[in-house]
Chain A
Amino acid sequence: MTMHTKAAPQTLPRFSSTFSPHVLAEIRRAAATGIYDIRGGGTKRALPHFDDLLFLGASISRYPLEGYREKCGTDVTLGSRFAKKPITLKTPVTIAGMSFGALSGPAKEALGRGASAIGTSTTTGDGGMTAEEREHSSLLVYQYLPSRYGMNPDDLRKADAIEVVIGQGAKPGGGGMLLGQKISDRVAAMRTLPKGIDQRSACRHPDWTGPDDLEIKIEELREITDWEKPIYVKVGASRPYYDTSLAVKAGADVVVLDGMQGGTAATQDVFIENVGLPILGSIRPAVQALQDLGFHRKVQLIVSGGVRTGADVAKALALGADAVAIGTAALVALGDNDPSLESEYQALGTTAGAYDDWHEGKDPAGITTQDPVLTARLDPVKAGRRLANYLSVLTLEAQTIARACGKSHLHNLEPEDLVALTVEAAAMARVPLAGTNWIPGL
């Protein structure tokens, strides 16, 4: 007689939440190489974001405007506090600072073409101003960075505004990192450094230390440019109330606040994922600082860090910002991480949508590279057109929402137009939890 034994049911292999496959792979990679992971882009972890807010469209108690028929203004003037020549953008969506070096020449040109077509500005980055960038950007903001790579007073005077960069959302307190692979002859010459070495930009300005010094530094920049240019001060979101207050005290015309979802050319993954504040939790403290000082809408506030849609734009403005800046989304509009390049992304060990090894200089899209063969792939005219289209969509979407809330200008949106879907978002954005009058913490 044959005994038939039935195999006992087995448990499915179960991965630890703490030691997930990604975490395990990272431990193995670290053990093998002895160096932290360096990558580009912004944080990838889930964070409270604009998606956790909803607009309250008009019904009886509010009166909507007719979509596409009634005017909803989008313009914004920046630098009206001190500058003799403030700048006016036709849309409150501007292009965040990204360096030539981190990005290819055609990519910078495309950013200029796209932004100029829509009437908004672009921004230089760590590495200085290129002639192509100035030529193709009708409004160009010149970043004054701790590294002072490529810093030139003639370029200060050529700029339409000056942005004193103190911090970046992806790495508040950290400096830049442009690895040797991307240091071409031109990039090396612009930065006065040997070709091929790792360029670790300073995390703090060399010739000033605290906010009192910043005030004097801003005065110097104004003197050198004859008080013509708006002076922005950019900070990574970490202590937005105090940093905004001090920037105003130092004489900023505009405060730029970059949340931790904001991208970077390359830095440590552990930094990107663990330092800073999400933009959702940063705007209200910054606005509060401006209001407490009596400078809201007088010193303009630009916010950035993960802005993707017109709804994000409208929500940022409703929370009190004057404009937003986009970086990662602009690169995607140009063609970054495009699925049409999937086979090439796979050859690099990744997939379209997840490629972030920008520091390696192998970007198949020709955007985050200095390889002449790869950079030649990006058509700056076509890519610029894509960016212009995207900027138009952001603006139209924001207008659509604003009209539905009964607003004749995007800047008339207000926190009262918003509710939150989660307790966390309600607390951070200081708007009521949906269906209640409860704002946690207030």
Chain B
Amino acid sequence: MVSDNVFDLERIKLRDLNSALHGASEADAAKRWVVKNPNGAHAVAAGIRVPMTVQIDGHVGYYCAGMNQQATVIVNGNAGVGVAENMMSGMVHVHGDASQAAGATGRGGKLIIDGNAAARCGISMKGIDILVKGSIGHMSAFMGQAGDLIVLGNAGEYLGDSLYEARLFVQGSVASLGADCIEKPMQDEHKSALHEKLKQLGVAGEVDVSSFKRYGSARRLYNFHVDNAGAY
């Protein structure tokens, strides 16, 4: 039997909410946790460690669902800076827009943003999969190490600057590419991989994988050489 645990942040403190979420056992996974009136509070649902579902009705501030492990966190609103930063596993779904550094340094799990994401989306990503249905701002995937950033809209300037091994798929336009980031051929294997990711992210069939362009590292800057110094 699924029942609600409702936390109204106009009536209880953030510390009490997070303390309850951190104290939840795996048996609590059957419950549906609901957070009302977040009103832009920071660190809402940060540091969860068990497979539970938390629904947040409203806008959240910085670092919502930070370092999430296993949980599904749904934001029915907009998210501030660093949503799902350093996520290890699980899923975070923002139904509105996200501010800067969405999914920063994320190591695993899935971050879905229905709206747009601001600058530095996926900065230093290390294994997370990020799907942005809208557009992303400048310097996104800066120093991205691993994981997939999939954008249905457009990308701002300097996409993938100093990129390592993260894979970038953009359906719309790209204002400019950053240092050492290049467009790479979208072959059948990449279309297949993208389709699989879109399926995991729950949007397979909504978009045509043939309409995406793929970007990755040219790997010219992996070991410093003076002849490449001007690339930065």
**A and B held together in a complex:** yes
- Chain A residues in contact with chain B, CB under 8 A? 33-35, 147-148, 151-154, 156, 180, 192-194, 196-198, 202, 206-208, 213, 216-217, 219-220, 223-227
State whether A192 touches B86 (Cβ < 8 A): no
Known: A220-B42, A223-B43. A192 touches B66 (CB 8 A): no
The 9 closest A-B pairs by CB, nearest first: A224-B47, A34-B226, A207-B101, A207-B82, A207-B104, A197-B222, A153-B67, A220-B43, A220-B63
State whether B85 touches A207 (Cβ < 8 A): yes
Interface residues of B in 15-31 (CB under 8 A from A): 15, 18-19, 22
Known: A194-B164, A223-B15. A208 touches B223 (CB 8 A): no
B171 on the A face (CB < 8 A): no
A-B contact pairs, 11 of them (CB 8 A): A148-B86, A152-B88, A153-B49, A153-B67, A197-B222, A207-B101, A207-B105, A207-B123, A208-B82, A224-B67, A227-B15
- Tell which of A180, A202, A217 touches B223, judged by Cβ atoms closer than 8 Å: A180
Interface residues of B in 95-146 (CB under 8 A from A): 100-101, 104-105, 107, 120, 123-124, 126-127, 142-143, 145-146
State whether B42 touches A206 (Cβ < 8 A): no
State whether A153 touches B69 (Cβ < 8 A): yes
- Tell which of A192, A207, A208, A224 touches B107, judged by Cβ atoms closer than 8 Å: A192
Chain B residue numbers with a CB within 8 Å of A156 are: 67
- Chain B residues in contact with chain A, CB under 8 A? 14-15, 18-19, 22, 42-43, 46-47, 49, 61-63, 66-67, 69, 81-82, 85-86, 88, 100-101, 104-105, 107, 120, 123-124, 126-127, 142-143, 145-146, 164-165, 222-224, 226-227
Chain B residue numbers with a CB within 8 Å of A151 are: 86, 105, 107
- Tell which of B62, B127, B227 touches A220, judged by Cβ atoms closer than 8 Å: B62
- Tell which of A180, A198, A224 touches B66, judged by Cβ atoms closer than 8 Å: A224
State whether B224 touches A153 (Cβ < 8 A): no
State whether B105 touches A198 (Cβ < 8 A): no
- Tell which of B42, B49, B86 touches A216, judged by Cβ atoms closer than 8 Å: B42
State whether B19 touches A226 (Cβ < 8 A): yes
Q: Could you tell me the distance in whole angstroms from the C-beta of B158 to the nearest C-beta in chain A?
A: 14
Chain A residue numbers with a CB within 8 Å of B49 are: 153
Chain A residue numbers with a CB within 8 Å of B107 are: 151-152, 192
State whether A194 touches B165 (Cβ < 8 A): yes
Q: Could you tell me the distance in whole angstroms from the C-beta of B13 to the nearest C-beta in chain A?
A: 11
Known: A219-B42, A220-B42, A223-B46. A206 touches B81 (CB 8 A): no
In the complex, what distance in Å separates the CA atom of A154 from the CA atom of B89?
13
Chain B residue numbers with a CB within 8 Å of A213 are: 62, 81
